[in-house]
Structure 1
C-alpha cells in the first residue's frame, strides 16, 4: 500500500533535455504520460513540469537553476532515475516548491471532486491522502458517501464539522501523521477510518476545552498513546487514549452497552495495561445511532478503566457523555455530562 504523498529530492543537475529523457519518456512508454503546462507559476528560480497519465495519475517536478536539484511528487510510478532519492515532508522542502505543488494538487482535487472546494482547510490537511496513489478514491469516498463515520448525517454537515476544527490550526504541525492515519488503502475501510476520525473528534474536544494537543506520544513501554493534552495555564499535561466502539449492527456483541464494555476492555487490557495507569481513556460513541446511544446513556456502563470519559459527538457540535473516576481534565464547557 502506497504512503501519503511526500517529495523525492534529487541533488543532481536537471535540464529540459534530461527531464524529457529520464522522466517523461519512461512514463510515456509505461503508462502513457504526457507533459502539460502547469496551471500555476512557481516564482523564484525554478522550472516546473506537470505530467498527466492516461490512467488518471499525476506527477509534478520542479528543478532549480545553478544545480539546485529537483523535487518530484506524484501518485504514479516513480521513474528509475529517481529511485535512489531521499524523501521529504511538505515543510522540509523550499517554500516555493511546496506552495506550487500544493496549488497544483488542490486545483486537481477540486476539479475531480468539486464539492470539496467548500472546505479549503480540510482539503489542504488531507491532501497527502486525498491525492495519494492508492487512497485517493477511498479517502474522498469516506467523506462523500459515508459522512466521515457519522450515522444519520449529511456529508456537508459532517465535513463542515471537521473543517471548522481543522481551520483552527490545532493539528497543522502534525498534518503528515494525522492525515496519514486515514490511510491510503484502495478500498473504504469504514471501521478503521471511523476510528481515525474518532481521534480528530477527541482532539477537537480537548482543543475547545483549552488544551494544546500533541499526537502520538511514545511512552516507556515502547508504544504510543494518542494524545498529550497540555494546559498552557498550569504547564501540566495529561495523556489521553481514544477508542471507538463499533455500532452494534457491525459487530457480534449483543447490544450497544456490550459494545462499549467490550471495546473499552480490549483497550484496557492492551495499551493501557502495559502503560501502567495515569492515562485518561476516551470512549467515542459517535458511530452510534440515537437509539443505541440512548441505551448507553441510560445505563452508563463501566468501562474497566478509570479515569474515563464516554461520549457521543454530533455534527452540529453537541457532545454528550459521562465520566468514570476522577478525570483530570476540565471538559464541562465542551461535553454535556450526564453524571
Structure 2
C-alpha cells in the first residue's frame, strides 16, 4: 500500500506534530516516503516536534497549519494523499469536562470532516484512526475489583489476557463520547460507503517526543516530574492499572495496519502493551525511583470522572491480523524515555555559554 519516492502523493498525518504523529512521520520520511502534516500547532511541544522533523527530513515533510474543524483545510490536505493517518484530536478527559462542546467539535466533527473529505474527494485513500480505550467506559465496578499487592485486578482472575474488542462500548465522560462517536463513524464509513478504514483503540503509548502532563501522557509526566523533583498528584489510591506500549512498537503497528489495509478494512483493534506490560501507578513510581535513583514525591486526590480502576488491552486480534506484537519491555522503554527527557531538561551548550 505504501509507496516511496516514485510518487508525489504524500501520506497525510493529521496531528502529525504531536507525540505519536511525529514518530510516525519520522519513520515514514526515513523510509523515503513524502509526508504531509495537518496540525494547528496548539499543543505543548508540537512546535518543537515540527522543528525536529524539518531538521531531520527537510522537504520530505511538509507541514500545513490548519484545523480539522475547518472542512476546507481538510479537503486541501486529503485531496492528493495516498493514505490518511488521523490522529488530530482533543485528548484529555479533564479538558472535555471543562469544554465538552470544543471536545465534540474536534473529535467527532473533525473526524467527520476527514471522512467526508475522503469519501467525496479521494475515496481510494485508506484511513487509519486513533481511537482510545476510553470507549469501553468504566468497565469494572468496585465490587468486581480486588487489590493484589500494589495493584488492582478483576476479581476471580477475570480477563486474564485483558479486554478484547467484543467488550460492549460504554462511553464515559465527554471525551469518551466524542472519541467513541468518531470511532463508530470511521467503522461505519467502511461498511456503508466502502472506504478502506481501520480503527486502533489505543491504551497508554509512551516514549521520546512526548511532553506529558497529568491529563495526557501520564508516564512521561511521572518521569519528567521525578527528574525535576516536582511532586505528583495521584488521583485515586494509586493501585489503578494500565498497559503501556513503547512508541516504536506503536509505530510498527500503525504502519503494518496501513500496509495490510485490505485485510484490516472495516475492523477495530485494541493497541497496547498487553498484560505483560501492565503496571499500576504506584508500581511505576517504584520503577522510576529505581531507574532514576531519585525519590518521587506524591500525594493523593479524589478520583476523577471517567477514570478506570483497571484497563489492560487484549491485543491478540491485532497480532493475528498483522503478525505484530510488542517487543520493548516496560523497563527498557522507560529507560529510553528517561534518557530522552534528561536531554530535554539539560541546558544546551549554547544556553550554558549564554548563562556563563
TM over 0.5: no
Which structure shows the higher helix fraction?
2
Task: Answer with 1 or 2: which has the greater Rg.
Answer: 1
TM-score (normalised: structure 1): 0.27
Greater RCO between the two (CA within 8 Å, min separation 6)? 2
TM-score (normalised: structure 2): 0.26
